[in-house]
Amino acid sequence: MNTALTSDTVDRARQFIRARGSRLTSARVRVLAELMAADSALTHLELQKRVEEGAEPIDRVTLYRVLDWLDEVKLAHRVAGPDRIFRFSVHASQTPHGHFRCIRCTRMYCLKEGGALLRGIKTLLPAGFVGDEVELTVSGICGACAAAATEATTTIEATATAVAPAAPAIVPANAADTVCNSPAPILQGNPAPG
C-alpha cells in the first residue's frame, strides 16, 4: 500500500464501508483510504498512480466502478473542474459545500461551512424556487502556491538589487545631431555610410 496510508486510515475506511452495509472489498477499502489520506480532491489519474504503488494494483475500470460506488453511497463526492475532469474527495461529503480550485497547481479543496453556504444561496432564489444542490467553485491561488510565489518574488527582488546596473548616463538633447551625421538616418532602411 501507499506509504502515506496508515493502518488507522485503512481501518477507518473499512468501518465506513461496513457501516453502509456494503460488501467489503480490497479495492473499495484501498480507494476510500487513499481519498481519506489526501489533503485535496484527487482525479482518477492521480488515484490510479497512488493505487498502482500497492501490493495489489487496481485496474482502471475497477477504480472507476469503485469511485462511482463511493459517490453513490455518499462516502465520497465528485466535483467537475473547469477542465471537465472529475475530482473525488471524502471531506465534507455529507453536506452541501463549495470548492476552491487553485489556478496554479490545479488542486481542488472542499470549503467548510456548507450549511451556511446553502442557506445563503437559498435566500437568493426567487419566490417559489426550491434549491436542491449547490455547486460553487471559487478559483484563485492556494496557500502553498501563494507562499511559493511570495518566496520566488522575494528571491528575484534580492537578486535584482544585488546586480542592479548603474543609472544610465544623461544625454544632452542635441546629442543626436553629433552622434550620426550621415545624410539619411540608418533606421529608414538606407545602408550605413561606410
- Residues of the chain with confidence (pLDDT) below 50: 1-3, 167-194
Distance CA 28, CA 63 (A): 9
Name the pTM for this structure: 0.58
pLDDT in tens, 88-101: 988 655 566 777 88
pLDDT in tens, 37-60: 988 889 999 999 988 876 678 889
Chain-centroid distance, C-alpha 40: 8
* Greatest CA separation for the chain: 94
Chain-centroid distance, C-alpha 66: 23
